[in-house]
A and B are shown apart, each in its own frame.
Chain A
């Protein structure tokens, strides 16, 4: 998964589990940038009566580094939540149809405060008591859900727009296959344990997530608030990551009297580039990685330079990746893409370099305009508005990263290398089979409804 349940500890704390981060120039408002962080993976839409919600005891943050000091936040946005029970005498999530997000029939509304941090100025509250939408329960409880959820798009001070609530999962991946010894169904005839080629199965189909989303003027996130117009300028590039933090101590009171949290907030989850902690960091270091700041990521650079997956591909697919198997140099291409950004001169007319400090961040060159017809393969397919220049919902990050790890991007830094033929077409065979992305903020699709969603088909129970 991009970063769903990617580390042992956070897999036991889904409310704080950061699953995906997106950062892109808004296609319909190109003077703005959209930043989205998803949490709470694998939401079965039918998961009532206590449906999914953000944690009131979690600080959710999206952070931006813009000063060349990669991995240290210069700007940050914090979402903190509070939940109310309106009718203490019922077990119901809603006591009638919810036709407006202010309806009293929603028995457990959730609200949030948005704050902004700027280096040297500290934290400032931007807006308070903003309502989330309810989850998509079904046609009787939450009729006309897309219209209902649209009421939770809030325009706040400074030309900013925010949303926090349930969305359709936009990340697609063949989970069942990939975690069965690295199988890619379209290529499984060539697997060490072969079987007939098959189409990919989207493991996130029918599932929802919870998103915090911001759309802000580009000048809200750039150094010295400059308007980015020059692709070649360092000031046009920002680094983005998200995190979730909990207070150090939680004490459960005797006799069901609830719990109390105390002490400073400690980061328990973070995410920049998709799949970094998932498939690059060794399992024994994943929890520590989640607690670290990106500015300290140089300690993980050796895993990027010698990725385990690049060693596994030639073993799992014998004879398919001979050139990759013979490549013994450090993977400077991956270090650049994931940890420093791509410097000028590597990809003609493009750069998203943030300096020599190695940090896992999504790097977005804000001067690159949105593409009218986005290519899901992004930059390596010639679409400079896509991953790894930031990340759009449409970007097929599994295919892009599979191809990069398999050697497709080595020639960017080492022209003597010839990628194996298979590397340019690697894919898990999935596409987005969830509700479609929206044309406007918050872009991620309308979440699947509990009543309307059919459970999956059990298999392999023999």
Chain B
């Protein structure tokens, strides 16, 4: 996945959806970064999308040392369908 595509993925996912950057490295970590800061750090990074429970409509995107949670049931349905599941 090209970097531009990765950016587009998150940017598109962020439109009209709820995004939360999960705190990193446990309790002894620096303050959680904002979504904008997380996006800034994307350049050259690898993204991994993780759906633990398709019914929740939440995609967790791992990027660098952050986890961005995106609540987007439509996106989850598309990804499930693309993976061969029933959307």
* A binding-site residues for B, Cβ under 8 Å: 59, 61, 63, 72-73, 76, 117, 119, 122-123, 245, 247-249, 251, 260, 262-267, 293
Contacts and interface: CB of A to CB of B under 8 A. Distances in A.
A263 B28 contact: no
Give the most central of B23, B25, B63, B64: most A CB within 10 Å.
B25
Given A122-B31, A266-B26, 20 more contacts: A73-B28, A123-B29, A245-B25, A247-B65, A248-B50, A249-B48, A249-B50, A251-B46, A260-B46, A262-B46, A262-B62, A263-B60, A263-B62, A263-B63, A264-B23, A264-B62, A264-B67, A265-B24, A267-B26, A293-B26
B63 A262 contact: yes
B28 A117 contact: yes
B47 to A, nearest CB: 7
Contacts of A122: 30-31
A265 B65 CA distance: 7
- List 4 tightest A-B contacts by C-beta distance, closest first: A263-B62, A262-B62, A264-B24, A73-B28
A265 B46 CA distance: 15
Contacts of A251: 46, 48
A181 to B, nearest CB: 38
Nearest to B24: A264
Contacts of B26: 245, 265-267, 293
B28 A264 contact: no
Interface residues of B, number: 22
Contact of A264 (B31, B46, B65): B65
B22 interface: yes
A260 B63 CA distance: 11
B62 A123 contact: no
Contact of A63 (B28, B48, B63): B28
Interface string B18-47: 000011111111110000000000000111
Interface string B45-73: 11110100000000010111111000000
Contacts of A59: 25
B33 to A, nearest CB: 11
A442 B80 CA distance: 53
A247 B62 CA distance: 9
22 contacts: A59-B25, A61-B28, A63-B28, A72-B27, A73-B27, A117-B28, A123-B30, A248-B62, A248-B67, A249-B48, A249-B62, A251-B46, A251-B48, A262-B48, A262-B62, A264-B22, A264-B23, A264-B24, A264-B25, A264-B62, A264-B67, A293-B26
Contacts of B47: 262
Contacts of A263: 48, 60, 62-63, 65-67
Nearest to A72: B27
Contacts of B48: 249, 251, 262-263
B63 to A, nearest CB: 6
A260 B62 CA distance: 11
Nearest to B66: A264
B60 to A, nearest CB: 8
Contacts of B28: 61, 63, 73, 76, 117, 119
Contact of A265 (B25, B31, B50): B25
A268 to B, nearest CB: 12
Give the most central of B47, B64, B65: most A CB within 10 Å.
B65
B32 to A, nearest CB: 10
Contacts of B62: 247-249, 262-264
B9 to A, nearest CB: 14
A359 to B, nearest CB: 13
Nearest to B62: A263
Nearest to B65: A264
A76 B27 CA distance: 11
Nearest to A265: B25
B14 to A, nearest CB: 18
A50 B60 CA distance: 36
Give the most central of A59, A73, A249, A251: most B CB within 10 Å.
A249
A263 B48 CA distance: 8
A426 B63 CA distance: 52
A260 B44 CA distance: 13
Contacts of B50: 248-249
B45 to A, nearest CB: 8
Contacts of A63: 28
Give the most central of A72, A73, A263: most B CB within 10 Å.
A263
Contacts of A267: 26
Contacts of B65: 247, 263-265
A192 B36 CA distance: 66
Contacts of A72: 27
